[in-house]
Chain A
Amino acid sequence: MNRGSFSAIASVAYKEFLHIYRDKRVLILLLVLPPVFTLVFGHAFEAGEMTNVPALLINRDGTPRAERFMTLILANKTFQWQTQPPSITGEDDLLGHGVQASLVIPQGWSESLSNGNPIPLRLYADGSDTNTADLLEGKVQKTLADFQLGERQAMIDTLPEEVFELSKKLPVQVRKQFVSMMEPWSVDRKVLYNPKTRFIDYVVPGVIGLILQLITVTLMASTLAREREAGTLYQLMVTSLRRREIVLGKILPYLGISIALIVFIILLTGWHFDVQFHDPGALALICFLFLLCSLGMGLLISAISRTQTQAIQFSVFFLLPVFVLSGAFAPLEQLPRAIRYVSELFPLTHFCRAFRLVNLYRAAPEFYAPDLIMLSAGVLITFVGAGYLLRRIEQ
């Protein structure tokens, strides 16, 4: 590439920069949305755990044992209990009561526990989103187990001496087994790769990727389509500009802006959410390839659209499945296998995976090399494809 070519590309890049600079709406979009999105998404996914789920608590038993259980479950932060009198009806009308669960301690519960024929507590749980019901049941179950343990300890403490005398007659092996059976068994958990188990550390690449994908694809897709709509593309083509000079000149300002945005988001998440970034060189490479791939995608959309409106529509249709299926905010493993193959087609999938491998797993390059190769292939395919489509506009 000679000097004339550089100068021609610089002319296009400067012109494109002026378009962005003069369009106040785009400028606001670029300056305001990324920090707002980062903060909102960051905080939205920060908690990760359900708290203050509104729920009804109805004690129809009224015994001291039921009262003790009440104290325990009322302390659970998952729920925000509304204690109701035993006379209340329609406890399964969760919507009517404006709650997501209701827990009933049935009449005679305490007695049934003492009689060796325990009746279960009744839990009505909102299953509409498929996660909540299981989660709430687990929480109640856990509290109940803790309660049972406490009750057992109280029972052991009050056992008459004769029982201990009797137990001494049992063989040692059986006695040991009993002790073991009476103790709660436990797991010693050692968390790897995200030791603080903060969801924000996991979701940061998703936030970066989402914002950049949104901005690069939609803005890039609009640029060529806008020139085509306004007729200026023909005016560009009758100059001695070559296609690759037009494309490069158009990409440069967006690339510059995107890199500035990445740096800005990384600084913001580092400062505000205290996210640590590991191996800046590898992360920079991953970001750069992802950006090129997104810009190429925008270019491709731009080349198949005749108007700006079409370009935006195509962008939305492309971006929607990307957001849902790319594993930006939830592990890909939740998706069925067949869908996961579709996910592999999206640059955001590879970006998030590679970013996490570097930043959370501290993995060696051979672990994320496949993702880098996929991103590079994406860059190649989108740019060659866009170049080919642009060639057809001429004819």
Chain B
Amino acid sequence: MTEPAIHLERLSKSYGEITAVDNLSLTIAPGTIFGFLGANGAGKTTTIRMLCGLARPTSGSATIGGADVWRERSVVRSKFGYVAQRFSLYPDLTVEENIRFFGGACRVPRSELPARTERLLVLTDLKAKRHAGAGDLSGGMRQLLALACALVHEPPLLFLDEPTSGLDPVHRQQMWNLLYDLSNRGITIFVTTHYMDEAERCTEVGFIERGRLLAKASPRALKESFQAKLLEIDVEPVMPALVRLRDTPGILGVSLRSGSLRLYAADPEKLLAEWRKKWPFPDIRFLGERWVEPDMEDVFTAYSQGYDAVLRPAKS
């Protein structure tokens, strides 16, 4: 087996009383698109910052390409690119100046810099904007520029902290197409997101909640870890039904999808059988039911809400 691109060993970070990352162990193989999923404040950004050598782990360790991310951070830093959550380029510099500056800062040889800048401008489709101020770009273009700056030293690994948050669907698609291109060239990608549909685009997904890793597997394996079949019902009126079903024994949670209600329950068949005999809500009309495939959001909801009854361990 080749050396893992990233390896975390019981990595923890506390700020005073607060534990942001709690005993995180994780191995990511080279070439993976790893999606790191979690709610805001779950510990995604802290983990990335530790991996980038910007925060000192309280305990445990992590390595990138075999080198310790804290003790050997000056070595490790040439091995990855980092796109921060906030726009953190220089707004008063032009697109081209930003790329060239980060190239110089990452010790790209001066003779190679023009050609590489050109390639990155083409890759990120920013050629027409090369002389525009970075601060004048749209949100999507800013993220593309940030990506270009992170790639200027041609790293084998890329960290992206919520690269698509706040982007419109067109730019999100463009961003992901770019990530596929990069992955195709053998670059390992570590991306955090809280968009569930983006998790489906990754080759591997890790769920993090309150600093702990809940699950890590391919999207398919994660969906298969959904033990029960998922019941979707149509009722009318839908909101009172949602509220009352939520409190019904045997139902762990309810979510509204395109006007239908999805029920998370350990034994939905039994519930359905009971309802066929007697529908318990006389003022709500039962219109019909169907069995559906769980999607990423269902899986994440189940993991993050602790609906253990509907889950079985995912096969990595």
B138 lies within 8 A of chain A by Cβ: no
Q: Which of B99-107, B119-127, B255-263 is the contact stretch?
A: B99-107
Chain A: minimal CB distance from B152 (Å): 9
Chain B residue with Cβ nearest A241: B105
A394 lies within 8 A of chain B by Cβ: yes
B305 lies within 8 A of chain A by Cβ: no
Q: Which of A32-40, A212-220, A231-239, A300-308 is the contact stretch?
A: A231-239
Contact A239 B90, beta carbon cutoff 8 Å? no
Contact A395 B55, beta carbon cutoff 8 Å? yes
26 contacts between A and B (CB under 8 A): A4-B107, A8-B104, A10-B104, A11-B100, A11-B101, A11-B103, A15-B101, A18-B93, A19-B92, A232-B89, A234-B52, A234-B54, A235-B82, A235-B84, A236-B105, A238-B52, A238-B82, A239-B77, A239-B105, A240-B74, A240-B78, A240-B105, A240-B107, A240-B153, A394-B53, A394-B56
B88 lies within 8 A of chain A by Cβ: yes
Contact B107 A230, beta carbon cutoff 8 Å? no
Given contacts A7-B110, A18-B93, 19 further A-B contacts (CB under 8 A): A4-B107, A8-B107, A11-B104, A12-B105, A14-B101, A15-B93, A15-B101, A231-B86, A231-B87, A232-B90, A234-B52, A234-B84, A235-B88, A235-B149, A238-B54, A238-B77, A241-B105, A394-B53, A394-B54
B residues less than 8 Å from A7 (CB atoms): 104, 107, 110
Residue among B88, B91, B97 with max Cβ neighbours from chain A (10 Å)? B88
| Contact residues of B between 46 and 83, Cβ < 8 Å to A | 49, 52-56, 74, 77-78, 80, 82
B residues less than 8 Å from A8 (CB atoms): 104-105, 107
Contact with B along A322-359 (1 / 0, CB 8 A): 00000000000000000000000000000000000000
B92 partner, pick from A22, A237, A395, beta carbons under 8 A? A22
Contacts A18-B92, A240-B77, A240-B78 known; A11 to B86 CB distance under 8 Å? Answer: no
Contact B92 A232, beta carbon cutoff 8 Å? no
Bound complex: CA of A3 vs CA of B105, how far in Å?
13
Bound complex: CA of A14 vs CA of B90, how far in Å?
13
Bound complex: CA of A4 vs CA of B84, how far in Å?
26
A142 lies within 8 A of chain B by Cβ: no
Contact A239 B102, beta carbon cutoff 8 Å? yes
- How many cross-chain pairs have Cβ atoms below 8 Å apart between A and B? 79
Count of chain A residues near B, Cβ 8 A: 26
Contact A11 B105, beta carbon cutoff 8 Å? yes
A242 lies within 8 A of chain B by Cβ: yes
Contact B54 A237, beta carbon cutoff 8 Å? yes
A188 lies within 8 A of chain B by Cβ: no
Bound complex: CA of A235 vs CA of B93, how far in Å?
15
Bound complex: CA of A11 vs CA of B152, how far in Å?
14
B residues less than 8 Å from A234 (CB atoms): 49, 52, 54, 84, 88
A23 lies within 8 A of chain B by Cβ: yes
Contact A238 B101, beta carbon cutoff 8 Å? no
Contacts A241-B105, A395-B55 known; A235 to B92 CB distance under 8 Å? Answer: no
Contacts A18-B93, A394-B54 known; A232 to B88 CB distance under 8 Å? Answer: yes
Chain A: minimal CB distance from B88 (Å): 4
Chain A residue with Cβ nearest B83: A235
Bound complex: CA of A241 vs CA of B152, how far in Å?
14
Chain A: minimal CB distance from B197 (Å): 27
B residues less than 8 Å from A237 (CB atoms): 53-54
Chain B: minimal CB distance from A246 (Å): 9
| Contact residues of A between 60 and 86, Cβ < 8 Å to B | none
Chain B: minimal CB distance from A40 (Å): 31
Contact A230 B93, beta carbon cutoff 8 Å? no
Residue among A8, A238, A240 with max Cβ neighbours from chain B (10 Å)? A238
B residues less than 8 Å from A230 (CB atoms): 88, 91
- Which 3 A-B pairs rank lowest in CB-CB distance, beginning with the nearest? A11-B104, A231-B88, A239-B105
Bound complex: CA of A146 vs CA of B77, how far in Å?
84
Bound complex: CA of A12 vs CA of B85, how far in Å?
23
Contact A23 B92, beta carbon cutoff 8 Å? yes
Chain A residue with Cβ nearest B152: A239
| Contact residues of B between 131 and 165, Cβ < 8 Å to A | 149, 153
Chain B: minimal CB distance from A211 (Å): 25
A235 partner, pick from B53, B56, B74, B89, beta carbons under 8 A? B89
A residues less than 8 Å from B88 (CB atoms): 230-232, 234-235
Bound complex: CA of A237 vs CA of B70, how far in Å?
13
Contact with B along A220-263 (1 / 0, CB 8 A): 00000000001110111111111000000000000000000000
| Contact residues of B between 21 and 53, Cβ < 8 Å to A | 49, 52-53
Contact A18 B105, beta carbon cutoff 8 Å? no
Chain A residue with Cβ nearest B52: A238
Contact A240 B54, beta carbon cutoff 8 Å? no
Bound complex: CA of A394 vs CA of B54, how far in Å?
5
Residue among A11, A15, A23, A235 with max Cβ neighbours from chain B (10 Å)? A235
B residues less than 8 Å from A10 (CB atoms): 104
Chain A: minimal CB distance from B103 (Å): 8
B residues less than 8 Å from A4 (CB atoms): 107
A residues less than 8 Å from B105 (CB atoms): 8, 11-12, 236, 239-241
Contact with A along B165-176 (1 / 0, CB 8 A): 000000000000
Bound complex: CA of A293 vs CA of B313, how far in Å?
62
Contacts A232-B90, A236-B105, A240-B107 known; A18 to B97 CB distance under 8 Å? Answer: yes
Bound complex: CA of A14 vs CA of B101, how far in Å?
8
Chain A: minimal CB distance from B94 (Å): 9
B residues less than 8 Å from A18 (CB atoms): 90, 92-93, 97
| Contact residues of A between 14 and 61, Cβ < 8 Å to B | 14-15, 18-19, 22-23
Bound complex: CA of A238 vs CA of B48, how far in Å?
11
Chain B residue with Cβ nearest A23: B92
B74 partner, pick from A231, A236, A242, beta carbons under 8 A? A242
Chain B residue with Cβ nearest A393: B54
Bound complex: CA of A90 vs CA of B49, how far in Å?
77
